[in-house]
Amino acid sequence: MSLVKSNKMGVILAGLMLGIFVAAIDNTIVGTAMATIVSDLGGYDKIVWVTSAYLVTEMAGMPIFGKLSDMYGRKRFFVFGMIMFLLGSVLCGTATSITELSIYRAIQGIGGGALVPIAFTILFDVVPEEKRGAMSGIFGAVFGTSSLAGPLLGAYITDHIHWRWIFYINLPIGLIALALIVFSYKESRVHVKQRIDWWGASTLVGAVVSLMFALELGGGTYAWDSSQILSLFAAAFVLLAVFLYAETRAADPIVSYSMFRRPLFAASTVASLFYGAAFITFAMYIPIFVQGVNGGSATNSGLILLPLTLGSVASAQIGAFLAMKTSYRNVMILSAVILVIGAALLSTITPETSKATLVWYMIITGFGVGFSFSVLGMSSMHGFNANQRGSASATMSFVRSLGMTVGLTVFGIMQRNLLSDKMTDAFAGSGDKQGGALGDIRQSLTPENRAKIPEDALHKIVDALSSSIAQTFMWAILPAALALFAVFFMGRSKLEIPAKGERPSEATGGH
């Protein structure tokens, strides 16, 4: 464990929070800027990849950097992650096509894959055990706030400056975080010597990327039964099988199966998968609903996410406090029940739904999601010693990002297909080129273009968009319900606070 003087603690924590902020905000910041970006760069059919490319490389890198940080120290990989993230941010701001932007977002994601899990691990290394609950609550709130505030910030910058500045804004924040960690965090030189699991790393990345390409290109660019898509699915399956086998043979595997023998860790990790899938769906499609159905600007669609943000921030703090009073499981059961209710309410939205009603639905949903930002981060590292926390935190973060990536892709494909079918039906027989043409949907996402659409055509577009999003939210109830099922297996463990004068010890594992 790192030895940190108390007067440097605040500086280190500030640097970590800023690092988490910039990495997490880039999961969602492009959401409300996409209409403008597509108008500028074109490529509507590739918009999902602008977010997916970031999530894929972030997700693939998390367990790798977590393991490397256990082996060689946290600081060097936090610094590496921030440098890669800032490099990617600069490149994103210079993109001239959607394809270029997606590639540069992948570079950003590599940096993000190091920043988030290592920041949470450093937190557990430097903060005394009796203060971890409170600090985990604060860090969870920062993660939740930045993830959900991304669309708001992206919308404001897009409307009032330029969409390229949603990437350039990372530079001053990231450089401050980098300086705080470089000059204040002095970690122990004692690390556990391990071997790098190169087979595991390469096959994991290959499997994830193959799966994402298959899901994104299938049914659109290529037919689901085409040789290209079938080959990608086959590659993903084979590489995953090789990865699982390689992990049983590796001296120091990236994902240690022994961790999953702890019920608390296993249940926390599985729950994070489903929370990630549900969360990203709401964060991405509520702004589109507000712009395309209600006719708001990018800023309006960003502002409408504030209730979701405030609900999640409040419950992240409450969840960390409750975890010190009762078991992690009790807290997360409450969280998942609220999330299921919120998802069910959002699945009922229509063009006639008032903004006040939508706000209440989002507060409930955000409150349900927020517990996971703090409590699952704590429960996933519960009982592990210092040289295992990096891997434990990174594995949980990896699985949560996997849920977000697969959720974004699957629900994105679902919404796109539903919308295409409804547009085709709405304009059937009219001879209107808008029938089934998803590229024309973007006309309804900006107020200036919306005014140019004939009223009858606009009404059909709004109904099709609203119905497709509501049905997508209805399907999002499934991961919320699966999260509820998973948390029942978390056991009775809770955050243990040492008594005054008692020597702090590692809490027992999830039994």
Residue that wins the pLDDT comparison between 425 and 111: 111
In the numeric block, the tokens 């022994």 are attached to 258
Q: What is the token pair recorded at 369?
A: 């999601």
Residue 446 within a domain: yes
The pLDDT tens digits of the residues spanning 239-253 come to: 989 988 888 887 777
What is the mean predicted confidence (pLDDT) over 499-503?
Answer: 48
Q: What is the token pair recorded at 296?
A: 């708001």
Q: Are 334 and 507 in contact (CB under 8 A)?
A: no
Residue 218 within a domain: no
What is the rounded distance in angstroms from the CA atom of residue 24 to the CA atom of residue 12? 18
Residue that wins the pLDDT comparison between 336 and 283: 336
Looking at residue 503, its pLDDT comes to 45
Would you say residue 238 has pLDDT above 90? yes
Give the H/E segment covering residue 84. Answer: helix 74-93
What is the mean predicted confidence (pLDDT) over 119-129?
Answer: 74
Quick one: pLDDT band at residue 504, thresholds 50, 70, 90? very low
Q: What percent of the chain has pLDDT over 90?
A: 15
Residues 194-230 as b/e (b if ≥16 CB within 10 A, e otherwise) read: bebbebbbebbbbbbbbbbbbbbbbebeeeeeeeebe
Residue 320 within a domain: yes
Would you say residue 9 has pLDDT above 80? no
Would you say residue 59 has pLDDT above 70? yes
DSSP conformational letter for 32: G
Q: Are 288 and 300 in contact (CB under 8 A)?
A: no
What is the rounded distance in angstroms from the CA atom of residue 101 to the CA atom of residue 133? 39
What is the rounded distance in angstroms from the CA atom of residue 122 to the CA atom of residue 116? 10
Quick one: pLDDT band at residue 143, thresholds 50, 70, 90? low
Looking at residue 443, its pLDDT comes to 55
Residue 394 within a domain: yes
Would you say residue 4 has pLDDT above 80? no
In the numeric block, the tokens 């296993």 are attached to 266
Domain count, the chain: 1
Residue 56 within a domain: yes
Looking at residue 132, its pLDDT comes to 62
Looking at residue 32, its pLDDT comes to 64
CATH number of domain containing 174: 1.20.1250.20
Other Cβ atoms less than 10 A from the Cβ of 454: the count is 10
Looking at residue 119, its pLDDT comes to 81
Residue 217 within a domain: no
Would you say residue 424 has pLDDT above 50? yes
Would you say residue 207 has pLDDT above 60? yes
Q: Which of 381, 371, 333, 386 is nearest to 495 (CA)?
A: 381
Instruction: Specify which residues 196 forms β-bridges with.
Output: none
Residue 443 within a domain: yes
What is the mean predicted confidence (pLDDT) over 20-33?
Answer: 73
Q: What is the token pair recorded at 366?
A: 């955000």
What is the mean predicted confidence (pLDDT) over 50-61?
Answer: 77
What is the rounded distance in angstroms from the CA atom of residue 408 to the CA atom of residue 401? 10
Instruction: Show the domain range for 256.
Output: 6-185+193-197+251-487
Quick one: pLDDT band at residue 194, thresholds 50, 70, 90? low
What is the mean predicted confidence (pLDDT) over 401-419?
Answer: 82
pTM exceeds 0.85, yes or no: no
Quick one: pLDDT band at residue 58, thresholds 50, 70, 90? confident
Q: Which of 461, 471, 467 is nearest to 281 (CA)?
A: 471
Residue 170 within a domain: yes
Looking at residue 339, its pLDDT comes to 94
Q: What is the token pair recorded at 103?
A: 């590639």
Q: Are 393 and 381 in contact (CB under 8 A)?
A: yes
Between the alpha carbon of residue 344 and those of residues 258, 349, 402, 434, 479, the distances in Å are 37, 10, 23, 31, 12
